[in-house]
Amino acid sequence: MIRHTILPYAWMLFGALAFALMSTLIHGLSTTCDWQVIAIARTFLALTFAAGLATASGASLVFFRPRVIWIRSIAGSLALMTGFYSFTRLPVADVLTLTNMFPIWVAVLSWPILGVKPRRPTWLAVLAGVGGVVLIQQGNRLSIPTGEGDGLLRGNTWLVAALSSVCSAVALLGLNRLHRVDARAVVAHFSFVSLLFSIGSFFVFPATKPLQFSGPTVLMLLGVGITGTIGQIFLTKAFAAGDPSRVSVVGLSQVGFGALLEMIFFDRSFHGLTLLGMGLIVVPSAWLLLHRTHLDLPDSQLN
């Protein structure tokens, strides 16, 4: 059976590369575009693709019900916006590391939301993840200038990146109650809500750059949408054909891809504390994904 072949993991690897490329493009656009503009471009293209795919396949779109779909879409939209904000102010690999802490937060949030009490190894993973965040921050203070925030988020960029992973965890937990809804309809609903949130953020947070689009900027914005869409396609195919927990572990490779792309395009070097901090986040996250029985959660929550 295909579930036992290497193909799903190859798809996830290509998907991780696509997401790393998207993240690198977002970081590169930070000098010419506000993060809100990048998010609008990304979500608009995603909505166009998702709605077209759902309509072409004859899937029934949903809007008001089930109500839990709003939890998934709102949490996912917050994860997207905080992630895009962070990518324009922090190094790519660091943000990818922080946003991929979601397995840790799934384990913690499953207690109040699903009544599944985390076990001792899970709490150790949480502590390791928190320590990893601290080490990444300290390592970067010694090697690169600290990025500046704006508006209400000034000085809290690291917390914003970590918040993105918390929102992702809430969105994933919401998927557990949406197993009867067509996946394409769920993606279309999320894309619509995230577009509304992205447009709204343009008016809530002050813009710092004029809306002047050059040819390279437009091409990079299109690249964000295309690579994000390609990544989503490969991710969906991988989860449909392979073991969700193991596929998720392969997805953590985007941290490595992001680091490699930063070294190539931004000439970045990594401090030892930064690398140690990344390891303290990625390794426990991978462990939680591979030992999801400690969470007592079904596979659908890891999709």
Per residue in 3-35, pLDDT (tens digit) is 457 888 888 889 899 999 999 999 999 888 889
CA atoms within 13 A on the CB side of 269: 4
Determine the length of the chain.
303
**Confidence category of residue 123, pLDDT binned at 50, 70, 90:** confident
| pLDDT score of 27 | 93
| pLDDT score of 20 | 94
Residue 187 clears pLDDT 70, i.e. is over it: yes
Residue in the block written with tokens 């590169």: 28
Instruction: Give the residue ranges of DSSP H helices in the chain.
Output: 7-29, 35-57, 68-87, 92-99, 102-114, 120-143, 157-175, 183-204, 215-241, 244-251, 253-265, 272-290
Ranges 91-100, 182-191, 290-299, most confident: 91-100
* Of residues 68 and 196, more confidently modeled: 196
Q: Which domain holds residue 127?
A: 2-302
Q: Is 44 exposed, middle or buried (0-12, 13-18, 19+ CB in 10 A)?
A: middle
Task: For 133-147, write each residue's pLDDT tens digit.
Answer: 778 877 777 666 544
Residue 239 clears pLDDT 50, i.e. is over it: yes
Task: For 137-173, write each residue's pLDDT tens digit.
Answer: 777 776 665 444 444 444 577 788 888 888 887 776 6
Q: Which residues contact 223 (CB under 8 A, 6 or more apart)?
A: 21, 22, 25
Q: Please give the tally of structural domains in the chain.
A: 1
* Of residues 202 and 199, more confidently modeled: 199
Distance CA 257, CA 259 (A): 5
The total of other beta-carbon atoms located within 10 Å of residue 89's CB is: 20
Q: Mean pLDDT in the chain?
A: 77
Residue 178 clears pLDDT 60, i.e. is over it: no
User: End-to-end distance of the chain based on CA atoms, in angstroms?
Assistant: 20
Residue 115 clears pLDDT 90, i.e. is over it: no
Residue 2 clears pLDDT 60, i.e. is over it: no
* Of residues 272 and 224, more confidently modeled: 224
**Portion of the chain with pLDDT greater than 70, in percent:** 78
